[in-house]
């Protein structure tokens, strides 16, 4: 089994030329994020993740967790690795400096997170959930709560969780029944059961800060009656030290397909009369606060698709070079010799499909993170609104398309190994098993597709998506004028046309035939991902060609960048055409067979 090596050269290329790192570094908030500093940071992050987390990935998969008397323990090495992770400052690399964070742009933090997730996805979920909890507290809690919790959560000394789902409710958060009744001195007493709580209990940190959705006594039904509460595992005394154990306990940890070293807990609140909590924000505004947390997490979950695709690709690439079988077409071999399977066309098809999709995902997700950075640091209101709109459009694509691809590409990684891919000793199957949860996390991909077509397509009366498609069309026109890149420009132009046709059809039925829109939402999400990914790869190819023409950069790296983009344009972008018919067929056949005969 090959090890993981962080693709820092490609990360830096995307940060500089797609995410706009230099433009971010011109802003006061990120003036310390110049390219040289970021390059050094990524090199050090790569060294840490490869040395500390990669060796634990297989160990965590094989040994899993130990649940003992209400406590959960990781395999040997995880706790020490987490301590070193925190001491090195990686937990708060993109967090606010006022609370002890590194203050780096979110796009830089996302690159570090990509390395961490690819190195060990099960480990990465603890910092990911903490990061989301920090975001919700930062935006919605009062100053007292911020001062108590944020410094130790930013450092990683304390971790955080999200508590949404209940056994009967699933994705229907509005159906939750957890209760919150007034306690003493502004506190609330929380009771109820939550399921699928990632890192709900563990030994890595001294305290766990649960963010819990619950209903107050007079709350209206549905999502309008939900409030958000901070419920720590251990209460915090006035001097900041840990006090008594709160009335919250882990009931069990699920046995899962993958991420065996990540605890997925059933949590019980209030068995002894009520877990003490503090309200975040105003009463009945919990969904707004939780969506802050979820939108942060959705990009991070999308990144899981990229990270595991790249990890799987690296292993498949190495295996295909080392493994010899058969004689490739045109190969000149001595008697008895065989060709590396990398020399066979179908294996190359799989490898190039994995590589080009990984590079497309990296571009989309880093651009998504940079849009958040530009919005946060924009002093001009119209500029901020522009970047907020880009963020809104890209987030469901990053999460939905990215995680769907993660499952498909890690499956291709298994296929590249042939029969050995289905044998656990190679480790190829772990990447697929680990990433399989990602299309379900943080709103299933059906929810992401519905969000894209029902909420994001109508933004600005359709102007947001139209402006984005105009940018893509303009780039395609430029590439068509370049001899080398013209085929990529033509493929992109065709893809944008298909995306526009599908978006117009969906938009025309939003008000009158919503079920038709819902039926076409998932294939439209795929189409949008394919085309937007192609757009950013086309930008990459254009920039790579400009650097070659100027005699700058590594020619092999830049030519490979162009080739990968051209492969995507030839083999991936044309799939958009077939999706239009699927999108525009409507929902009639979906419901033509009654439930009892399904």
- Per the rule left: phi > 0, alpha: psi between -120 and 50, beta: everything else, 192 is left
Q: Which of 16, 143, 442, 471 is catalytic?
A: 442
What residue ranges in 394-501 does DSSP mark as E strands?
Answer: none
Residue 6, helix vs strand vs coil:
coil
- DSSP at 4: P
Closest Cα partner for 199 from 116, 126, 300?
126
Contact status, residue 42 vs residue 11, Cβ threshold 8 Å = yes
Q: How many helices (H) and strands (E) does the chain have?
A: 19, 12
Q: 3 with 50: CB under 8 angstroms?
A: yes
SS3 assignment, position 71: strand
Q: How many CB atoms lie within 10 A of CB 43?
A: 13
DSSP class per residue in 372-395 = HHHHHT--SHHHHHHHHHHHHHHH
Which of 483, 468, 470, 502 minimizes the C-alpha distance to 576? 502
> Is the Cβ–Cβ distance between 111 and 137 less than 8 Å?
no
DSSP 261: T
Q: Exposed e or buried b for every residue in 563-577, given b needs 16+ CB within 10 A?
A: ebbbbbbeebbeebe
Residues 6+ apart with CB under 8 A from 14: 362, 363, 366, 540
Please tell me the distance from the alpha carbon of residue 251 to that of residue 40, in angstroms, as a whole number: 44
**Pairwise CA distance, residues 411 & 401, whole Å:** 15
Report which of 575, 577, 564 is spatially closest to residue 348, judged by C-alpha positions: 564
Q: Is 442 a catalytic residue?
A: yes
Which residue shows structure tokens 């769907």? 404
Query: How many residues in the chain?
Result: 598
DSSP β-bridge partners for residue 264:
198
In the structure encoding, which two tokens stand for residue 13, read together?
Answer: 């290329």
Q: Are strands 158-163 and 71-73 parallel, antiparallel or unpaired?
A: unpaired
**Closest of 75, 275, 301, 300 to residue 163, by C-alpha:** 275
The CA distances from residue 64 to 73, 75, 76, 261, 433, in Å, are: 9, 7, 10, 5, 14
Residue 274, both tokens: 């009520």
Q: What is the greatest pairwise CA distance in the chain? A: 85
Active-site positions read 442
């Amino acid at each position: 089994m090959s090890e993981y090596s962080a693709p820092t050269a490609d990360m830096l290329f995307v940060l500089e030329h797609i995410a706009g790192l230099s433009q971010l570094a011109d802003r006061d908030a990120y003036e310390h994020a110049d390219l040289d500093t970021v390059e050094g940071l990524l090199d050090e992050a790569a060294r840490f993740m490869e040395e500390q987390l990669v060796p634990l990935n297989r160990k965590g998969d094989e040994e899993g967790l130990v649940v003992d008397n209400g406590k959960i323990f990781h395999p040997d090495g995880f706790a020490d690795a987490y301590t070193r992770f925190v001491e090195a400052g990686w937990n708060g690399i993109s967090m606010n400096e006022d609370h002890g964070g590194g203050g780096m742009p979110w796009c830089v933090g996302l690159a570090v997170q990509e390395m961490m997730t690819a190195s060990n996805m099960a480990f990465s979920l603890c910092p990911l959930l903490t990061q989301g909890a920090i975001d919700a507290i930062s935006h919605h809690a009062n100053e007292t709560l911020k001062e108590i919790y944020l410094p130790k959560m930013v450092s990683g000394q304390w971790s955080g969780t999200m508590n949404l789902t209940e056994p009967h409710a699933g994705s229907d958060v509005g159906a939750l029944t957890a209760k919150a009744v007034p306690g003493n001195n502004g506190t609330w007493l929380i009771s109820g059961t939550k399921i699928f709580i990632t890192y709900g209990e563990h030994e890595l940190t001294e305290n766990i800060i649960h963010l819990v959705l619950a209903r107050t006594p007079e709350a209206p039904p549905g999502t309008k009656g939900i409030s958000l509460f901070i419920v720590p595992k251990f209460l915090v005394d006035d001097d900041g030290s840990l006090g008594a154990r709160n009335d919250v306990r882990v009931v069990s940890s699920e046995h899962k397909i993958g991420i065996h070293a990540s605890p997925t807990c059933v949590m019980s609140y209030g068995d002894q009369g009520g877990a003490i909590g503090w309200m975040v924000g105003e009463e009945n505004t919990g969904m707004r606060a939780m969506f802050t947390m979820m939108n942060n997490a959705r990009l991070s979950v999308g990144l899981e698709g990229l990270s595991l695709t790249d990890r799987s690709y690296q292993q498949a690439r190495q295996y295909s070079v080392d493994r010899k079988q058969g004689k490739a077409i045109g190969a000149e071999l001595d008697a008895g010799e065989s060709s590396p399977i990398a020399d066979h066309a179908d294996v190359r098809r799989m490898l190039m499909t994995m590589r080009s999709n990984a590079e497309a995902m990296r571009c989309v997700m880093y651009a998504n993170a940079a849009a958040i950075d530009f919005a946060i640091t924009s002093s001009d209101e119209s500029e901020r609104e522009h970047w907020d709109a880009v963020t809104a459009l890209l987030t469901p694509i990053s999460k939905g398309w990215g995680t769907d691809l993660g499952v498909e590409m890690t499956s291709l990684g298994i296929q590249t190994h042939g029969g050995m891919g289905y044998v656990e000793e190679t480790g190829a199957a772990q990447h697929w098993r680990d990433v399989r949860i990602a299309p379900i996390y943080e709103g299933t991909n059906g929810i992401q597709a519905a969000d894209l077509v029902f909420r994001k397509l109508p933004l600005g009366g359709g102007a947001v998506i139209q402006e984005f498609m105009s940018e893509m069309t303009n780039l395609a026109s430029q590439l068509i004028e370049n001899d080398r890149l013209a085929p990529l420009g033509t493929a992109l132009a065709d893809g944008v046309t298909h995306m526009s046709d599908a978006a117009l059809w969906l938009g025309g039925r939003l008000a009158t035939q919503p079920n038709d829109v819902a039926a076409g939402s998932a294939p439209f999400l795929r189409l949008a991902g394919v085309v937007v990914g192609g757009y950013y790869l086309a930008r990459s190819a254009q920039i790579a060609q400009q650097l070659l023409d100027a005699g700058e950069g590594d020619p092999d790296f830049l030519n490979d960048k162009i080739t990968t983009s051209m492969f995507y344009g030839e083999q991936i972008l044309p799939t958009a055409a077939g999706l239009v018919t699927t999108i525009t067929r409507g929902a009639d056949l979906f419901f033509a067979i009654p439930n009892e005969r399904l």
